[in-house]
Amino acid sequence: MTSGPKAVDELSEDEARQALASLAEQIARHDALYHQQDTPEISDADYDVLRKQNAAIEERFPNLVRDDSPSGRVGAAPAAGFSKVAHARPMLSLSNAFSDDDVTEFVARVRRFLGLEETETVEIVAEPKIDGLSASLRYENGVFALGATRGDGATGEDITANLRTITDIPESLSPEAPATFEVRGEVYMSRDDFFALNERQRAAGSKEFANPRNAAAGSLRQLDASITATRPLHFFAYSVGESSGATGKTHWEFLALLDRWGFSVNPHSRLCADSSEALALYREIDTARASLPYDIDGIVYKINRLDWQNRLGMVSRAPRWAIAHKFAAEQAETLLHDISIQVGRTGALTPVAELEPITVGGVVVSRATLHNADEIERKDVRSGDTVVIQRAGDVIPQVVRVVAEKRPAGSKPFSFPTHCPECGSLVVQEDGEVVRRCTGGLICPAQALERLKHFVSRNAFDIEGFGGKHIEAFRNDGLIETPADIFRLSDRADEIANREGWGQQSADNLFAAIEARRTISLDRFIYALGVRQVGQSNARLLARHYGSYDILATAMTEAQDPESEAYSALIAIDGIGPSVATDLIAFFSEDHNRTVLEDLSRTLEIEPFIQEENDSPIAGRTVVFTGTLEKMTRGEAKARAETLGAKVSGSVSKKTDYVVAGPGAGSKAKKAAELGLTILSEEEWLDMLSEGNTS
């Protein structure tokens, strides 16, 4: 049996420090997966466990709280791609209550804070907590002017164009609304629309979403708003940001005003005379929850009087005048027929529970993830067991526990395969990893297929109309084996046009869609390779650092030597580190991958990474290199400067912004000095570029 993490009160200071470092890293990673990439890897419940553990350790060791502690952050910083919006008022989060006692204590705290008499009543507005994502809408003179995501609470992303596609969001407000008015609320997708969307995604071979909330987030964060327009999103308004006019005396009045001014307000919200009425509503809605058309994950209680809300203010990142009372995850009992093993793109073996289908929280469930071998052992899950499963906002449900009394006689513990069920290769477990992996690499058909699917997926090559299903079929029929084969498909035009369900027109459309992707940005290309631990954000970091594919490829070869400068430079990239470096180097040194990379780089045009303008300290500047450069060739220095948006010139003039002078610099450096220009050593120059990277 594996033991869980040590109890917090047993941790030594050193262990606590290590645990906090590891938690900060894990939480940041899951935040990015959830908020920026809409592809969470763990359930909300497991994420909450990480946060709670972090908070408990910080409480016991306040001197060890890290500068980058997850407790000080809400969500994640905005992803690149949208312009940033500084919120006029911060977008807050809510503290949580998990029991009736937590709720009565919340009201008692409010009473103490305000110094209220026993006789004074404290009205509460109870509202369903919509499981979507929050957005802030700004109206200027009654017209919708700017819409933003929450981001990290202080700065979000400008998603105005996307929000305009939502019919619940009025383009203009009734004339009574204040001249400047910011409303906050939740963007969500109904469960039925989510299923229909996944159905369409499946048919197109595109990525399916884990739950309605991720589907809403993914749909809203489309750079192309015409895609958002095809996704059925809704909006409930529930709070105010900046406002130039009055918004009533109570929250209840405010909700009525929102309704009058043109917004949708959740119809199940209720004004309660005290906490017991609020708790009654909680129970009522909890029971009815599966029949609501959208997911909710709790009830939010808000102190009704706005003057009291003002006095209560906020503490760290949440208002003192509101609390979210979470629902317990929806659970059900069913029979586990079998445990099957799925092999993923990186060879990870994931055990899956094959269940007798059952409805949980409005969703029919027939499979549940068992995560890994340790999890099966810890819960002692066996074929034939009756298990409790739960769905906590996620469509991928989990096995919570085995119902021991219902275990049939003679059942045997699950033995995890020692060889890959797909290719028979040995299965290994690396030091410090829970995951077991197939060592077959690309000889494993499952890994090869998953890698190809990843290659064409939405955030990678994203070939229109050519998704996972097509990849599978084409691969089975020998039309594609490696990624570059996709770009040679037009050589087999007749064969494709004659396939069942195809024809000349659809084959031509496919070739056009493939051709459109023959030019690809460096960050997408790196992501498409499917290197372990290199998701979108690491791909972007690498693209930004190396600038062009050739520089990246050379650096990866050189970095095989751990003593090399290339290696030091790689692990020094903020956010990369030794573990990701190991996976990258292994990928770039494997023979098969090298062949694929060479083939691809001949077939494709991989565009250099274009630095966002304000991100680069040298964008728009003119640079002259003179003398010998020691860290890189002149050619590379020039390419890098151009990638960062600079103009490189061969001669010095008044218009030159920087002269980078190496040893042996002669007349150009002299002229620069005469003109009073900024002259930098190669080192100073590189420092300046890397400062731009981290800003």
> Which residues have a catalytic role annotated?
129
Q: Does 656 bind ligand IVH (CB under 6 A)?
A: no
Q: How many CB atoms lie within 10 A of CB 606?
A: 21
- Tokens matching residue 213: 């909330």
Q: Does 543 bind ligand IVH (CB under 6 A)?
A: no
Q: Does 213 bind ligand IVH (CB under 6 A)?
A: no
* CA distances in angstroms from 103 to 124, 277, 322, listed in the order given: 11, 12, 10
Whether residue 167 contacts residue 220, with contact meaning beta carbons closer than 8 Å, is answered with: no
Cβ closest to ligand IVH, residue 238 vs residue 263: 238
Residue 27 exposed, middle or buried by CB count within 10 Å (0-12, 13-18, 19+): buried
Helix, strand, coil tally for the chain in percent (to 5): 40, 20, 35
Cβ closest to ligand IVH, residue 127 vs residue 422: 127
Give the residue from 564, 570, 678, 575 showing the smallest Cα distance to 618.
Answer: 678
Cβ closest to ligand IVH, residue 323 vs residue 600: 323
The residue number with the shortest CB distance to ligand IVH is 134
Q: What one-character DSSP code corresponds to residue 404?
A: G
Cβ closest to ligand IVH, residue 134 vs residue 398: 134
CB of 93 to ligand IVH, least distance (A): 5
Q: In what order do the strands lie in the sheet with 658-661?
A: 647-649, 622-626, 658-661, 678-680
687's CB contacts (< 8 A; 6+ apart) are none
Q: DSSP E strands: which ranges in 31-160?
A: 84-86, 96-97, 124-130, 133-140, 143-149, 155-157
Q: Does 93 bind ligand IVH (CB under 6 A)?
A: yes
Cβ closest to ligand IVH, residue 198 vs residue 239: 239
Cβ closest to ligand IVH, residue 324 vs residue 420: 324
Q: Does 624 bind ligand IVH (CB under 6 A)?
A: no
CB of 268 to ligand IVH, least distance (A): 10
Residue span 290-329 as binding mask against ligand IVH, x where in contact by CB under 6 A, dash where not: ----------x------------------x--x-x-----
- Tokens matching residue 449: 């297929």
Apex 673 CA angle, 671 and 675, nearest 5: 70
Q: Does 538 bind ligand IVH (CB under 6 A)?
A: no
Cβ closest to ligand IVH, residue 129 vs residue 544: 129
Q: Does 239 bind ligand IVH (CB under 6 A)?
A: yes
Q: What one-character DSSP code corresponds to residue 419?
A: B
Q: Does 130 bind ligand IVH (CB under 6 A)?
A: yes
Q: Does 97 bind ligand IVH (CB under 6 A)?
A: no
Q: Does 343 bind ligand IVH (CB under 6 A)?
A: no
- Choose, by CB under 6 A, the member of 19, 32, 76, 94 that binds ligand IVH: 94
Cβ closest to ligand IVH, residue 323 vs residue 629: 323
* CA distances in angstroms from 166 to 244, 263, 284, 376, 652, listed in the order given: 25, 12, 30, 43, 54
- Tokens matching residue 401: 């526990």
CB of 11 to ligand IVH, least distance (A): 28
Q: Does 238 bind ligand IVH (CB under 6 A)?
A: yes
Q: What one-character DSSP code corresponds to residue 42?
A: S
Phi, then psi, of 226 in degrees rounded to 5: -70, -25
Stretch that binds ligand IVH, among 89-97, 213-221, 282-290, 360-368 (CB under 6 A): 89-97
Give the residue from 521, 593, 511, 506 showing the smallest Cα distance to 557.
Answer: 593
Q: What one-character DSSP code corresponds to residue 133?
A: E
Q: Does 385 bind ligand IVH (CB under 6 A)?
A: no
Cβ closest to ligand IVH, residue 263 vs residue 567: 263
Type of residue found at 587: F
Query: Pairing between strand 678-680 and 658-661?
Result: parallel
Residue span 43-82 as binding mask against ligand IVH, x where in contact by CB under 6 A, dash where not: ----------------------------------------
CB of 318 to ligand IVH, least distance (A): 7
CB of 96 to ligand IVH, least distance (A): 8
Q: Does 148 bind ligand IVH (CB under 6 A)?
A: no
Q: Rounded to the nearest 10 degrees, how much is the dihedral formed by the CA atoms of 245, 249, 254, 255?
A: 180
- Could you give the CA distance from residue 635 to residue 380 in angstroms, rounded to a whole number? 60
Q: Does 127 bind ligand IVH (CB under 6 A)?
A: yes
Whether residue 305 contacts residue 134, with contact meaning beta carbons closer than 8 Å, is answered with: no
* CA distances in angstroms from 514 to 227, 450, 483, 520, 603, listed in the order given: 20, 19, 12, 11, 12
Q: Does 191 bind ligand IVH (CB under 6 A)?
A: no
Site size with ligand IVH, rule: CB under 6 A: 14
- Choose, by CB under 6 A, the member of 31, 152, 182, 186 that binds ligand IVH: 186
Residue span 1-40 as binding mask against ligand IVH, x where in contact by CB under 6 A, dash where not: ----------------------------------------
Stretch that binds ligand IVH, among 92-100, 371-379, 625-633, 686-694 (CB under 6 A): 92-100
- Choose, by CB under 6 A, the member of 32, 92, 215, 551 that binds ligand IVH: 92
CB of 186 to ligand IVH, least distance (A): 5
Cβ closest to ligand IVH, residue 308 vs residue 546: 308
Contacts of range 363-367, beta carbons closer than 8 Å, 24 or more positions apart = 363/191, 363/391, 363/395, 365/332, 365/334, 365/389, 365/391, 365/397
Stretch that binds ligand IVH, among 123-131, 370-378, 584-592, 597-605 (CB under 6 A): 123-131
Instruction: State the residues that interact with ligand IVH by CB under 6 A.
Output: 92-94, 127, 129-130, 134, 186, 238-239, 300, 319, 322, 324
